């Protein structure tokens, strides 16, 4: 089924389902955008760190070259050495600029995991609400179409299986009486598979769009978000750093 067909079928569902799906999609898109920002910030910081490392290696190499020339010349500073000294000084100043740039970006990125985790939680909650609504609708639709036949069939099985089980030794309460035999049958063929999630309605139009469960990455983001205590510590560290910088 293509998306157009699925969207068409969704328009036939109750308004509460359509609203729940729209709410879920909005929450999911907000979480994905927060995740994109977090990754972009992390990639940017990694790039800056790599460039700083390259600058540091280059500056160290120039400094080592200057020391070698200084030793070889017995302390005579040539034009080449003066030029090297200027480049080394510029390199060290640039490293300080890199440190300030990294600090600024890390400050901006510090609370992005919190935002991603919060939005992941909102998406998970919206998804759970959608699944709850849809599960009840599937059950109600099934019972409306097949409920009478299901109850009739189970009643028939209660009679036949109960009679068969007690034919040899007679009826023993809670062992082979008709009620117990039917309960055992339902447990084996219905309850146990349901409890183990042996079969889920993945082909339902709503779940084909939304999934039976929320995205695994959202659950990770939600569980990995910083605790309130960790967030407080980050804020305190940032405030302390700002004060030290202004002194």
Q: How far is CA 154 from the centre of its chain?
A: 43
Domain with 181, as residue range(s), is 128-247
What is the value of pTM for the model shown?
0.77
- Residues 53, 149 within the same domain: no
Q: Are 185 and 162 in contact (CB under 8 A)?
A: no
Task: Count up the domains in the chain and report the number.
Answer: 2
The whole-number mean pLDDT for each consecutive block of 10 residues of the chain, a chain of 247 residues, reads 54 89 96 96 97 97 95 92 95 96 92 94 97 94 94 92 71 74 91 84 89 94 84 75 69
Domain assignment present for residue 192? The answer is yes
- Residues 96, 132 within the same domain: no
Output the pLDDT for position 1.
41
């Amino acid at each position: 089924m293509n998306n157009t067909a699925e969207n068409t079928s969704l328009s036939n569902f109750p308004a509460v389902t359509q609203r729940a799906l729209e709410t879920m999609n909005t929450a999911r898109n907000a979480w994905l955008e927060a995740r994109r920002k977090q990754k972009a910030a992390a990639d940017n910081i990694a790039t800056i760190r790599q460039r700083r490392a390259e600058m540091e290696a280059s500056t160290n190499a120039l400094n080592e070259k200057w020391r070698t020339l200084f030793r070889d010349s017995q302390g005579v500073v040539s034009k080449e050495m003066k030029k090297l000294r200027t480049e080394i000084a510029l390199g060290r100043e640039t490293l300080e600029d890199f440190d300030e740039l990294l600090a600024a970006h890390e400050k901006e990125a510090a609370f992005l995991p919190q935002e991603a985790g919060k939005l992941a939680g909102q998406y998970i909650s919206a998804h759970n609400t959608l699944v709850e609504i849809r599960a009840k609708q599937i059950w109600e639709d099934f019972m409306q179409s097949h409920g009478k036949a299901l109850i009739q069939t189970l009643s028939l099985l209660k009679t036949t299986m109960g009679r068969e089980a007690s034919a040899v030794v007679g009826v023993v309460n809670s062992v082979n009486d008709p009620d117990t035999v039917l309960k055992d049958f339902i447990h084996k063929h219905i309850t146990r598979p349901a409890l183990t999630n042996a079969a889920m309605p993945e082909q339902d139009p709503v779940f084909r769009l939304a999934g039976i469960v929320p995205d695994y990455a959202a659950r990770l983001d939600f569980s990995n978000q910083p605790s309130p205590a960790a967030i407080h510590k980050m804020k305190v560290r940032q405030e302390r750093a700002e004060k030290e910088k202004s002194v």
